[in-house]
């Protein structure tokens, strides 16, 4: 046992050293990437943001865009490090790097609004042909669909996102965004909340072996619950009942209790033996005979008899009858005989003889007197 623990410890220790070396290599690689990464100067912050807006405008005006819509205005919020340079007498903005671990309180929030101004290529009539996209956020899915169609738009793609923050069926996001302008008939895509609790159908496990049923439950993220055994004509260890019926929908990781067929009990072999003749035997000898053939002495009753005392004069089961081993045989034995007290009898007779003698004596005396 100690040797096994030592081997496991050495194996874990080797894995730990290897992981430490791997972590060191990753840290070195990250530092090298940080040195090689090109840095954007703070004065390029606004111009870079402007380039991004121009690219967005180009994408919106492309004919390949599925949704043709116009952004009237947009609120922007940035978190940046704002510093004042005394020498240059100017304010500089610096965006945090991806790997910077700056406390939120050290960053300033910059809010600004971008408003659309129609250019020469966009006439006022074209702008008036657009309709305002309704705000669908927070609405139930069916009502959101009604709002889309009632505003002369069409329902676009509907995607679902698992969340516990809101009730399932609530619209979480939409494209185009609320209050933006889009041409009538344009599709509006929505993302709808769905429950993070996933359901699965309970399979039919009856007739499967216990091992097969457990494998089926694991394959659909269900668990085997309490297993009870019951007598059945089905093969032993076969599922004969389940706590949740087949095809019912339950949450994943739900436990299903099972009832399996119990192994059939082997029939007990009954051994028989013949009852011996115990009449005339002393009770102790009769008990020895019973023990020798796996029978038991039962209740003993005493009764007056001309047989010697403690001699068996009767038995509850007749001789030569076959009974199961371990059976009990009741016995009736002869009771002890009482001895006659002859002295007491002579004492009782003596008074009678004396009276006779006295009578005879009295008669003799009467004769003599005559």
What would the pLDDT profile of 274-288 be if each residue is shown by its tens digit?
999 989 899 899 899
Helix (H) or strand (E) holding 57: helix 45-61
Q: Are strands 187-194 and 154-162 parallel, antiparallel or unpaired?
A: parallel
The tokens 């730990």 sit on which residue? 16
pLDDT tens per residue, range 74-87:
677 777 777 777 77
Q: How confident is the model at residue 192 (pLDDT cuts 50, 70, 90)?
A: very high
Edge-to-edge strands, sheet with 154-162: 154-162, 187-194, 171-175
Q: In whole angstroms, what is the distance from residue 13 CA to residue 202 CA?
A: 44
Q: Which of 138, 168, 136 is nearest to 150 (CA)?
A: 136
How does the average pLDDT of the chain come out, rounded? 79
The C-alpha angle 337, 342, 343, rounded to 5 degrees, equals 135
pTM of the predicted model as reported, rounded to 2 decimal places? 0.34
What letters, b where the CB count within 10 A reaches 16 and e where it falls short, cover 198-213? Answer: eeeebbebeebbbeeb
Q: Which of 131, 187, 191, 178 is nearest to 155 (CA)?
A: 187
Query: What 3-state DSSP class applies to 102?
Result: coil
* Sign of the alpha-carbon dihedral angle for 293, 297, 298, 301: positive
Query: What per-residue confidence (pLDDT) applies to 107?
Result: 79
Query: What per-residue confidence (pLDDT) applies to 80?
Result: 75
Helix (H) or strand (E) holding 24: helix 2-36
Q: What are the φ and ψ backbone dihedral angles of 36, each rounded to 5 degrees?
A: -80, -20
Domains (range + CATH), the chain: 124-194 (3.30.10.20), 208-261 (3.30.10.20), 272-334 (3.30.10.20)
Q: In whole angstroms, what is the distance from residue 140 CA to residue 132 CA?
A: 20
Stretch 114-139: mean pLDDT, rounded? 69
């Amino acid at each position: 046992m100690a040797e096994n623990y030592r081997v496991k410890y050495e194996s874990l220790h080797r894995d730990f050293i290897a992981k430490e070396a791997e972590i060191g290599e990753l840290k070195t690689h990250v530092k090298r990437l940080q040195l090689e990464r090109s840095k954007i100067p703070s004065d390029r912050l606004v111009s870079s943001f402007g380039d991004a807006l121009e690219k967005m405008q180009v994408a919106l005006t492309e004919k390949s865009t599925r949704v043709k819509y116009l952004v009237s205005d947009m609120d922007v919020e940035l978190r940046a490090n704002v510093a004042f340079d005394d020498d240059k007498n100017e304010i500089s903005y610096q965006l945090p790097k991806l790997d910077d671990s700056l406390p939120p309180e050290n960053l300033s929030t910059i809010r600004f609004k971008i408003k659309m101004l129609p250019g020469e290529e966009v006439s006022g009539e074209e702008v008036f042909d657009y309709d305002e996209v309704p705000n669908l956020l927070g609405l139930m899915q069916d009502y959101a669909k009604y709002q889309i169609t009632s505003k002369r738009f069409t329902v676009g793609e509907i995607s679902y996102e698992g969340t516990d923050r809101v009730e399932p069926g609530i619209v979480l996001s939409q494209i185009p965004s609320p209050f933006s302008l889009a041409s009538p008939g344009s599709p509006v895509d929505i993302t709808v909340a769905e429950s993070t609790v996933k359901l699965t159908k309970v399979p039919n496990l009856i007739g499967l072996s216990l091992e097969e049923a457990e494998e089926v439950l694991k394959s659909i993220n269900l668990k085997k619950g309490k297993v009870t055994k019951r007598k059945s004509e089905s093969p032993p260890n076969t599922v004969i009942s389940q706590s949740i019926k087949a095809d019912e929908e339950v949450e994943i990781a739900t436990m299903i209790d099972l009832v399996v067929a119990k192994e059939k009990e082997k029939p007990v072999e009954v051994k028989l033996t013949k009852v011996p003749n115990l009449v005339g035997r002393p009770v102790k000898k009769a008990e020895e005979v019973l023990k020798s053939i796996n029978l038991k002495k039962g209740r003993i009753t005493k009764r007056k008899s001309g047989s010697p005392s403690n001699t068996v004069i009767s038995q509850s089961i007749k001789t030569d009858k076959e009974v199961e081993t371990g059976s009990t045989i009741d016995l009736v034995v002869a009771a002890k005989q009482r001895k006659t007290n002859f002295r007491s009898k002579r004492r009782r007779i003596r008074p009678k003889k004396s009276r006779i003698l006295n009578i005879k004596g009295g008669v003799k005396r009467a004769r003599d007197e005559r």
